[in-house]
Amino acid sequence: GIAGIGRMGWVHAGPLLELERQEGVCRLCAIVDPDEARLKAFARELDFNGPLFPSLDHYLEADLCRATMVVSPTEHHQSHAMTLVCAGHRVLMEKPLTGTLAGDLACCAELDRDYPQALMLAFQRRFDGAL
């Protein structure tokens, strides 16, 4: 699933749908976003027929999958990711984790202690020489 269908949500959803439709190697099960108009626009423009949820709670209640990309606004990254991780999901999350170094360290310590290998942070420019 994908939590957040703003700009980066579309960036992730497009290739997933392409892999699903052309290769059959994955399946995009559901989309979560509080903006109903954005959900409907996404479904219409990318011909997505799966479930659309207005909240993580509704998404988790449906129990459709166990892996979720978190691409919600930055201020929700940590709470969305930890809600999903605590529910047993594997999470790929767009950067940043929390927005502060202290917050990142605390969150990573909790993840390492209680949920090892449950979260991966996406940093698409990690191989960019200038960085």
pLDDT tens digits in sequence order for the chain, 131 residues long? 999 998 889 888 998 999 999 998 899 999 999 999 999 999 999 999 999 999 999 999 999 999 999 999 888 999 999 999 999 999 999 888 888 899 999 999 999 999 999 999 887 666 667 76
Q: Helix count (H) and strand count (E) of the chain?
A: 5, 6
Please give the pLDDT value at position 126: 62
The stretches of the chain forming alpha helices (DSSP H) are: 7-22, 36-45, 56-62, 77-86, 101-114
User: What pTM, to 2 d.p., does this model score?
Assistant: 0.88
Please give the pLDDT value at position 5: 93
Please give the pLDDT value at position 24: 87
